[in-house]
């Protein structure tokens, strides 16, 4: 069960700052796209997200989007803002995480995984011994398969709460 437990939990991607990451020795971010960076049905980056990405870049922190979504969706979002991406990632499997680390030319211990799902992002990051940050989903709605995952996630989070294994209060 501990593979589902993130190292950290935040309300939003915007709570993650370059200075905090650098203090932890982080040089690279592997981030999910849908409901992590923007709503799952939003085509483009918001101005605030563009500022956040620019801030990471200005501080020398690399970012790669790793998504289970298709090439059309992930490419249409990532290419205009010149962010490297991996689509059809098959998270929580490890291949896409390892490829992103290789492509960014960083070490595992210099990399953080950010996402909104325990069953894909956190599990995949933890299985690959990466630091994981769970964020509150940007939208309150999800695609079909994600809705199923959310039901399972609620049960896992409730189990962690009963065991006093999580320190945050009433988040997801």
For residues 40 and 130, give the distance between their C-alpha atoms in angstroms, rounded to a whole number: 24
Q: Give the pair of three-digit tokens for residue 129.
A: 């011994």
> Per the CATH hierarchy, to which homologous superfamily does domain 2-162 belong?
HAD superfamily/HAD-like (3.40.50.1000)
pLDDT in tens, 16-74: 999 999 999 999 999 999 999 999 888 899 999 999 999 999 999 999 999 999 999 99
pLDDT recorded at residue 160: 81
Which stretches within the chain are classed as H helix? Answer: 18-23, 47-58, 71-78, 95-104, 123-127, 144-162
Cα separation values, 106 from 29, 68, 99, 126, 165, Å: 10, 22, 11, 17, 30
pLDDT surpassing 60 at residue 89: yes
- Domain locations in the chain as residue ranges: 2-162
pLDDT in tens, 106-165: 999 999 999 999 999 999 999 999 999 999 888 776 666 667 777 788 888 778 878 887
pLDDT recorded at residue 151: 78
pLDDT surpassing 60 at residue 75: yes
pTM: 0.87
């Amino acid at each position: 069960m501990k593979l589902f437990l993130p190292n950290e939990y935040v309300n939003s991607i915007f709570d993650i700052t370059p200075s905090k990451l650098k203090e932890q020795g982080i040089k690279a971010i592997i981030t999910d796209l849908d409901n992590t960076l923007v709503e799952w049905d939003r085509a483009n980056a918001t101005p605030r997200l563009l500022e956040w990405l620019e801030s990471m870049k200005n501080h020398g922190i690399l970012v790669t989007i790793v998504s289970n979504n298709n090439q059309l969706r992930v490419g249409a979002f990532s290419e205009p803002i010149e962010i490297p991406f991996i689509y059809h990632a098959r998270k929580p499997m490890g291949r896409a995480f390892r490829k992103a680390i290789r492509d960014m030319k960083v070490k595992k211990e210099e990399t953080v995984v950010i996402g909104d799902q325990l069953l894909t992002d956190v599990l995949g990051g933890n299985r690959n011994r990466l630091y994981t940050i769970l964020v509150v989903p940007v939208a309150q709605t999800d695609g079909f398969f994600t809705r199923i995952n959310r039901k399972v996630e609620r049960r896992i989070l409730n189990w962690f709460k009963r065991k006093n294994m999580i320190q945050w209060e009433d988040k997801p």
